[in-house]
Amino acid sequence: MDIFLQQLVNGLTIGSLYALVALGYTMVYGVMKLINFAHGDLVALSAFVGLTIYTQVFGEGITSLIAVITVFMFTAAVIAVVGVLLERLAYRPLRTAPRLSAVVSALGAGLVIQNAIMLIWGPNMMIFPSNLFPSTIWNFNGIVITFTQLMILGLSSVLMVGLYFFINRTKMGTAIRATAIDQDAAKLMGINVNKIIMIIFIIGSSLGAVAGLFIGIYYRGVTFDMGWMYGLNAFVAAIIGGIGNIPGAMFGGLMLGLFNALISGYISSSWAETFTFVLLIVVLIFRPTGILGEKVAEKV
């Protein structure tokens, strides 16, 4: 039982990270019907940018709430700019091209970001400082929760709830939903589709940036090619939840995180990805559009 509860905590932590990344995938897919393969590499880039901002601006030793907030804000801003540039340069020219051309462009963009990280920061693993968050640990009858885990759970919940209300309660959110349903009709209604896509990339990339920083703080070691695996897991999470569906991405992320943690706890972590894909196939066999996906016939 102890293992179960401990893995529940760990799983929810990883799950919220997956959910944050999955939101970026699902929002882009919802509007552009494109798997943004470069999104995972943006997440990795954010960890490196955050690390550099922290060590260069604040120096290794100093930790304060202000320092942490500044690192998060600046990194999110930098990654948002990169995300928007990515859309401008690699995706916008291909909006009317065959769908697979944009996929290849996305794969190429991922390769560019990944290798840019390698050229700038080197091919070796970089270690995050351990003092970004206080190392407080709570122990409830053997179940350990660290301050970092609590921060991850807390901040991602706030961000996800905020995003949910932004999408469902504001004028801009309504415009985003309208664009996702039918771009041409949205254009006719006076919605600036290019602006909506830009906003989606800003939100998605910033959420990915937060996830990337948390990955660095939580796991400490970051490598230039780590984005691919987080990205793929997050995308699988988005599909499991129902791609294009924002609560679906949150649910899918948490579910996949829990599932992975339980597999690692009870079976073996070296088979984690195999089980992830078995879960994906099982979900797709019973719910072809994901667990929270709407049952709609594809337009002919």
Partner 1 sequence: MKNISKNSMIAFGLLAIMGVFPFFANSAWIAIGTTFLVFSAVAFSQDIILGRAGAFHMGHAAFFGIGAYTTAILNVHFGWPILATWAPAVIIPVVIALLVTGPIIHLRGDYLLVATIGINIVFIQILENDLFGLTGGPNGIFGIEVIKVFGFEFFEQIHMYYLAFILLGITLFIMKSLDSSKFGRAMFYINKDDIAAQSMGISIRYYKLYAFAIGAGIAGAAGSMFAVQYSAVSPEAFNVLQSIMFFTIVLVGGSASLPGVLIGTFVMFILPEIFREFETARYLVFGVAMILTMILRPRGIWPVKFGNIPSFLKKDVK
**Footprint of partner 1 (CB under 8 A):** 29, 33, 35, 89-90, 93-94, 97-105, 107-112, 114-116, 118-119, 228, 232, 235-236, 239, 243, 270-271, 273-274, 276-278, 280-281, 284-285, 288, 298, 300
**Smallest gap, in angstroms, from Cβ of residue 108 to partner 1?**
3
Six-digit token string for 296: 């709609």
Nearer to partner 1, 16 or 114 (CB): 114
**Smallest gap, in angstroms, from Cβ of residue 206 to partner 1?**
23
Residue 85's nearest CA partner among 103, 112, 104 is: 112
DSSP reduced 3-state for 137: strand
- Binning the chain into helix, strand and coil, the percentages to the nearest 5 are 75, 5, 20
Nearer to partner 1, 93 or 134 (CB): 93
Nearer to partner 1, 90 or 213 (CB): 90
**Whole-angstrom Cα distance, residue 69 to residue 160?**
18
Six-digit token string for 170: 């504001």
**Smallest gap, in angstroms, from Cβ of residue 274 to partner 1?**
5
Nearer to partner 1, 93 or 142 (CB): 93
Q: Which residues contact 235 (CB under 8 A, 6 or more apart)?
A: 22, 25, 35, 39, 40
Nearer to partner 1, 164 or 273 (CB): 273
**Smallest gap, in angstroms, from Cβ of residue 33 to partner 1?**
8
Residue 231's nearest CA partner among 21, 31, 13 is: 21
**Smallest gap, in angstroms, from Cβ of residue 107 to partner 1?**
6
